[in-house]
Amino acid sequence: MPSRLEGFGIVFPEALARGLPCIGRDSYAMPESITPGVSGGLITGDDEHELAGIIAAALADDALYEACRERAPRVAAYFSWERAGREATQLITQTLQSAP
């Protein structure tokens, strides 16, 4: 999903949490979820040949799929609502405790 406008793109962590590599754009927050060669690939522009090449390379890369499957439980744990809620609560508590 190499969207031209994507603030975060929850679809990437959702796919990665299921062990699927992703193709996105090298902008916005997409590189926060996608590491080329590790969890998929990133395009740099609007060239359809670049996109097709990255998709073809990902589809042919069995090691990429295996790495994504192995990382899936860690990705799912990191992008969980439990972790997000815990970190937000900790930040709020720290802020309130440091207030004058």
Instruction: Encode pLDDT of 14-46 as tens digits.
Output: 999 999 999 999 988 899 899 999 999 999 989
Instruction: Specify the 3-state DSSP secondary structure of 8.
Output: coil
Question: To the nearest whole percent, how much of the chain has pLDDT over 70?
Answer: 98
The residue-averaged pLDDT of 3-19 equals 85
Q: Which pairs with CB-CB distance under 8 Å and at least 24 residues apart come from 79-85?
A: 79/13, 79/14, 79/17
pLDDT tier, 5 (very low <50, low <70, confident <90, very high otherwise): confident
Question: To the nearest whole percent, how much of the chain has pLDDT over 90?
Answer: 75
| 4 pLDDT higher than 80 | no
Please enumerate in sequence order all residues whose Cβ is within 8 A of that of 93, keeping only pairs 6 or more positions apart, or say none.
none
Beta bridge partners, 42, equal: 24
The residue-averaged pLDDT of 1-10 equals 76
Instruction: Specify the 3-state DSSP secondary structure of 35.
Output: coil
- The pLDDT of residue 35 is 93
